[in-house]
Amino acid sequence: MIELTPLARPYAKALFSSALESKNIDEMADELKTMAMASKTEGVINTIENPTLSRQDIVNVLVSLFDESVSDKSKKLIEILAENKRLNLLETIYIIYQELLEEHREQKSVEVFVAVDPGEDSKNNIEQKLKETYGEDANIHFSKDPKMMGGLSIKIGDETLDLSIRGKVKKLVNQLNF
């Protein structure tokens, strides 16, 4: 499978600098999120991959789908991506845009992986501890990973703190194997 990040980065950077210049970085983030979520739906995937539709037909369908919810700049992005056969990059562009936005605001993005959804008290406690450590404006996201067996794993940037049962078992196996 092709790594999409290098292909998507120039689009995300161009969008971010344009949004920064026109002072609508949050609105662009919302539009990209809308388009990224829609790009994962079966109907949009079938439209993009339909061999009988021309690129212009695909653009027309997508632009009409997002007509009310996105700006002209986002519609132009769809046209450019369709022209270059890169509509599969919408989700990756959104992810990179979010990273650029967090970097611009000097925010930390914290991903917390849990085996089962924590209770409200536990979740609030985890969020509070992470915000004390990484700042009140840290973006904290919870994801479910049943393979963990229990515990949690915290990912900040490229660093991971693995406090899961699976991680402890792996560490024990590595120690026993020398």
Q: What pLDDT sits at residue 178? A: 67
Among 88, 83, 144, 90, residue whose Cα is nearest residue 117:
144
State the Cα–Cα distance between residues 92 and 32, nearest whole angstrom: 10
Cβ neighbourhood burial of 2 (10 Å; 0-12, 13-18, 19+): exposed
pLDDT at 1 over 50: no
Q: Model confidence over 128-141: pLDDT tens digits? A: 888 888 878 788 88
In this model, does residue 37 exceed pLDDT 50?
Answer: yes
The helix or strand, by DSSP H or E, that contains position 49, with its residue range, turns out to be helix 42-49
Q: Contact 78/59 with Cβ under 8 angstroms?
A: yes
Name all domains of the chain by residue range, CATH numbers in brackets: 5-103 (1.10.520.20), 108-176 (no CATH)
Instruction: Please give the model's pTM, rounded to 2 decimal places.
Output: 0.65
| Alpha-carbon span 144 to 50, nearest angstrom | 33
